Every structure is written in structure tokens, then in C-alpha cells.
Amino acid sequence: NKNKLTKLFLLVFCCSRTKIFFHLLSFTLVFVALIVLGSSFATKL
């Protein structure tokens, strides 16, 4: 029974880690997109 619990914990841990990773990835992509948009807008002015 403890083995099942450990597997479940590992699964939840991995899922939360991937969630955090994807959140960081999307945040970085949005940040880069904003920088690119800002620089292109600045060159137009």
C-alpha cells in the first residue's frame, strides 16, 4: 500500500513540476514576444 502511495506522490510531483515548467515556458515566450513587439514598435517611431 505504501508503494502505491509513493507512486502516486511521484506522479503528482512530476505533474506539478511539468506544470511549473510550462508556466515558466509560456511566461518566457510572452516576455520575449513583448520585447520583440516593443523593439519593432520603437524602430517604427
pLDDT of residue 23: 92
pLDDT of residue 44: 80
DSSP letter string over 13-36?
A: HHHHHHHHHHHHHHHHHHHHHHHH
pTM above 0.85, yes or no: no
pLDDT of residue 42: 85
pLDDT in tens, 2-43: 899 899 999 998 888 888 999 999 999 999 999 999 998 888
- The residue among 11, 7, 30 whose CA lies nearest residue 19 is 11
pLDDT of residue 22: 92
